[in-house]
Amino acid sequence: MRLSGTAAALAAVAAAAVLLGGCGGGGGTAASSGVPRPPTPVARSASPSLVAKARLATCPRVRPAPPGSKGPALPAVTLPCLGKGPAVAMGGLRGPAVLNLWATWCDPCRAEAPLFQRLHASGAKVRVLGVDSQDTGPDAALWFAIDRNLHYPNVYDAAGRLAVAARAGKGLPVTLFVDRAGKVVHTRFGPYPSYAALTADVHAHLGVRS
């Protein structure tokens, strides 16, 4: 039996709602180390087999930022880890750290990703954290990491909240430099053309040589 125009439209809306489903949420408990564990949003389509295959480094465990923190800091959002490890309370992140906002649909992001893997593997005293932003889903991000042999930790920002906070109106990639006090001391819009350019900014803004 053929559906009427109204019934077909309702079916299409229902299908779209399924495809656009977001991340679920969950409660957290205090970690044994005494650091409070933030609520852990779970990306519904994340595949445990892909998480294991990607072998991403464990996401850092950080304290949420205290109320009334001043300075150009990261927003108080908690983002799920794409690999193993806790969800990350971004507002509590302390550096020196380099955060690279990227997406699988962003061609310049594809080109510069190996530079951040090289920085992560260099042994430099700087944390590298990828932020998959406004992407098609965590599985796509994991395949991206597998395909490019990326192993630095990554979180999943489905709504692109960090990109909005960084005023990334010109699109991705965006790289944020966070100092020891948790302040964003530099924002780079657009891709890095070389590893030398990336490490020059790491030294200039975070005082770390690689």
Q: Give a yes or no: residue 195 inside a domain.
A: yes
Q: Is 100 helix (H, G, I), strand (E, B) or coil?
A: strand
Tokens standing for 189? 């819009």
Angle, CA 124 vertex, CA 121 and CA 128 arms, to 5°: 65
130: β partners:
100, 154
> Domain of 147?
47-206
Residue 28 lies in a domain: no
Q: What percent of the chain has pLDDT over 70?
A: 73
pTM: 0.75
Q: Is residue 136 part of a domain?
A: yes
Integer Cα distance of 198 and 45 in angstroms: 33
pLDDT digits (tens, 9 = 90+) for 39-93: 444 455 578 888 999 899 999 888 766 555 555 678 888 999 998 889 999 989 9
Residue 158 tokens, joined:
């489905």
The answer to whether the beta carbons of residues 35 and 63 sit under 8 Å apart is yes
Indicate whether 11 belongs to any domain: no
- CATH number of the domain enclosing 109: 3.40.30.10
**Residue 98 main-chain phi, psi, to 5 deg:** -120, 120
Q: What residues contact residue 7 under an 8 Å CB cut-off, 6+ apart? A: none
The confidence band for 30, taking pLDDT boundaries of 50, 70 and 90, is very low
Q: Report if residue 18 sits inside a domain.
A: no
Closest CA to 89 of 16, 153, 30, 36: 36
Long-range contacts of 105-111 (CB under 8 A, 24+ apart): 105/135, 105/136, 106/171, 106/172, 106/173, 108/172, 108/173, 108/190, 108/191, 109/172, 109/173, 109/191, 110/144, 110/148, 111/191
The tens digit of pLDDT for each residue in 1-21 reads 444 443 333 333 333 332 323
If one counts the domains in the chain, the total is: 1
Task: Classify residue 22: in a domain, yes or no.
Answer: no
